[in-house]
Structure 1
Amino acid sequence: MNHTVHVSHPKIIKRLKNAEGHIRSIVTMLEEGRNCLEIAQQLQAVEKAVQSAKKTLIHDHLDHCLESAAGADGEAAKAPIEEFKAITKYL
């Protein structure tokens, strides 16, 4: 299988590195005995960042890899791919 770097990958990497920094901060917060509400808020932010990175990666894959695999029938495949992208928000 051909693995390629897509335009969205640098943004995904940046988002995940940011989440990585947040996780280190959360560990420190736990070690310092910080307020559980503050920690939960930070955990929610990390979860959203990872979820967003995953969604971006999946949509990018659908846009580039699956549409190109559809080849000449790319236009016919476009509607089902868009529908699939829409339903991924429920994952």
Structure 2
Amino acid sequence: MELDRRNMCAPGPPTWITPPANPTAEALIRAKLKEYRNKCKERDRLILEAKQGGLTEVAIAELSGHSRNTVRSVLKNHGVS
């Protein structure tokens, strides 16, 4: 079984995902890409929240572990400079 990381901040005990018996390679890749997309949405939300909270791009990059270019790109994509 695998820990469901989509709702890690939700209150209560963690939920577990039971994988299919024999998933195909394509199904595994699709699942990984969907999980990655969700992580990117969360990353973007946190970066925007940090910027609105008054942190600089440099501080956000250092605290998040992302490059300053990534932080700048996220802010630009969401219309924040």
TM-score by length of 2: 0.48
Higher relative contact order (CA 8 A, sep 6+): 1
Name whichever structure is richer in helix by fraction: 1
More strand by share: 2
